[in-house]
Amino acid sequence: MAANLKPGTTKARILDTTAELFMRYGYTGTGLKQIVADANAPFGSLYHHFPGGKQELGVEVIHRSGAMYLELVLGVFDAAPDIVTGVHDCFAGAAEVLRATDYADACPIETVALEVASTNEPLREATAEVFESWIEGATEKFRAAGIDDSTARELSISVIALLEGAFVLARASRATEALDAAGKTAAAAVEAALRR
Amino acid sequence: MAANLKPGTTKARILDTTAELFMRYGYTGTGLKQIVADANAPFGSLYHHFPGGKQELGVEVIHRSGAMYLELVLGVFDAAPDIVTGVHDCFAGAAEVLRATDYADACPIETVALEVASTNEPLREATAEVFESWIEGATEKFRAAGIDDSTARELSISVIALLEGAFVLARASRATEALDAAGKTAAAAVEAALRR
DNA sequence: GTCTATACTTTGATAGAC
DNA sequence: GTCTATCAAAGTATAGAC
């Protein structure tokens, strides 16, 4: 588990490095040699810690990145005075990170999810589990604000879809216009749900 | 140009096959050998028609797929009695195609766009041009329905982001729930813009 | 557990016969 | 223009010394 993993160890460095590379170059575009080189780890260590090779490493990175990103977003959410502001702040924060990283750091698993959807069943399942955990996390927040169950889930899916879709447009265009527009639409959708 | 290209020729078969493979396996995940094998074309023909190799082929496929998909979506749009129904029908149609293709055929360039965003500038530019053409196409439709310029562009970006984001969630989960939810939100956003 | 060297496969790309 | 043979490099994975 990622919980009981000491930072700074070889395994931790491999996981962190792989997460970073997956976000930028995807699963197929990230080589194991590049991972160990960037992580300053000997090649053998990779197969010592991940006997299942690239796929086992990939599954663990997806779950780990997914959990960390959920915590990050929930943190932004909870810091806001209300959920409409919270949703807005998530999109604004994502735009800021994109600009600061030269449009490289967006969603940690989106590229991988599309790459493996039709090619690697264990990895596809891992991405599906992460997205479902995000949907459930957001649904809980919306329900706590008084939105009914069914609407809360639809709203969660839509907000996450807006964010993921805006990431694609923003990275392709190297501009944050898409995140601004999608953020406004997401906030408006939440407002509308609150008024029901 | 794709316009003056006779169907059934070796070059056309290579382009069509590559488009199909890019949609399912992405850019890095599609090998040139797989392309010529699926297209029933000799290996040398690929470099005869595309001297720039994989990158030149990729740029042409992106532009071609982008133009075809725009026509497809505009066709669905124009067949609907109003733009709210048109938007709804696009999401419903996309869901149907996904189910029919075992969740393989979604957006023709989304996977490639994410893969190349930080790694291949000519390909990134090609995807950015395609997305921009889609945004402008949708903006024109919304303006024609009486929505002001600025709102129409924001709405277009949001609807496309909802579709692209829902594709990611749908392919990962192998379910169309995300397309249903995103489609409802998109239709509601258009309705809200019409009421302003 | 750490690390190096290497095996085997696949990749994109090229040369040259026809 | 068509097609085959082949190259150099990069990919994943393994063996085995320490």
Question: A122-163 pLDDT, tens per residue?
Answer: 999 999 999 999 999 999 999 999 999 999 999 999 999 999
Between CA B87 and CA A185 the distance in angstroms is: 15
**pLDDT, tens digit, for every residue of A16-46?**
999 999 999 999 999 999 999 999 999 999 9
Q: Given phi > 0 = left and psi -120 to 50 = alpha, else beta, which region is B85?
A: alpha
Which band of pLDDT confidence, cut at 50, 70 and 90, is reported for residue B75? very high
Is B108 within a domain? yes
- Estimate in Å the CA B97 to C1' D13 gap, whole number: 38
Is B42 within a domain? no
Contact criterion met (CB below 8 Å) for B17 and B38: yes
Which band of pLDDT confidence, cut at 50, 70 and 90, is reported for residue B7? confident
Considering CB atoms only, which of A165, A167, A171 is closest to B160? A165
| Mean pLDDT across chain A | 96
Is B138 within a domain? yes
pTM for the structure as a whole: 0.96
Checking each nucleotide's C1' against the CA of B43, the nearest proves to be D3
Please tell me which residue of chain A has the smallest CA distance to B182: A158
Please determine, for residue A2, whether its predicted confidence score (pLDDT) is greater than 70: no
- Estimate in Å the CA A56 to C1' D15 gap, whole number: 21
pLDDT at residue B111, as a whole number:
98
Nearest alpha carbon to residue B173 among A42, A94, A114, A181: A114
Please determine, for residue B82, whether its predicted confidence score (pLDDT) is greater than 80: yes
Decide: residue B33, CB within 10 A, 0-12 exposed, 13-18 middle, 19+ buried.
exposed
Is B111 within a domain? yes
pLDDT at residue B4, as a whole number:
61
Is B11 within a domain? no
Helix (H) or strand (E) segment spanning residue A114: helix A110-116
Stretch 63-122 of chain B: residues touching chain A, C-beta under 8 Å: 102-104, 110-111, 113-115, 117-119
Please determine, for residue A1, whether its predicted confidence score (pLDDT) is greater than 50: no
Between CA B159 and CA A165 the distance in angstroms is: 9
3-state secondary structure of B90: helix
Between CA A157 and CA B165 the distance in angstroms is: 9
Residue position matching structure tokens 């493979």: B21
- Eight-class DSSP state of B106: S
Please determine, for residue A111, whether its predicted confidence score (pLDDT) is greater than 80: yes
Is A94 within a domain? yes
Structural domain boundaries enclosing B157: 54-195
Which band of pLDDT confidence, cut at 50, 70 and 90, is reported for residue A196? confident
In total, how many domains does chain A have? 1
Please determine, for residue A113, whether its predicted confidence score (pLDDT) is greater than 50: yes
pLDDT at residue A191, as a whole number:
98
Minimum distance, in Å, between the CA of residue A149 and any CA atom of chain B: 13
Is A101 within a domain? yes
pLDDT at residue A5, as a whole number:
80
Minimum distance, in Å, between the CA of residue A42 and any CA atom of chain B: 26
Nearest alpha carbon to residue A173 among B191, B58, B116, B89: B116
Tell me if chain B has a CB within 8 Å of the CB of A163. yes
pLDDT at residue B109, as a whole number:
98
Dihedral of alpha carbons B20, B133, A27, B171, sign: negative
Whether residues A164 and B169 touch (CB distance < 8 A) is answered with: yes
Return the residue in A62, A131, A151, A162 with the most chain B beta carbons within 10 A, the one to mutate for interface testing: A162
Is B152 within a domain? yes
Tell me if chain B has a CB within 8 Å of the CB of A123. no
Between CA B21 and CA B112 the distance in angstroms is: 11
For position B123, which CATH number holds?
Answer: 1.10.357.10
Residue position matching structure tokens 């050998």: B33
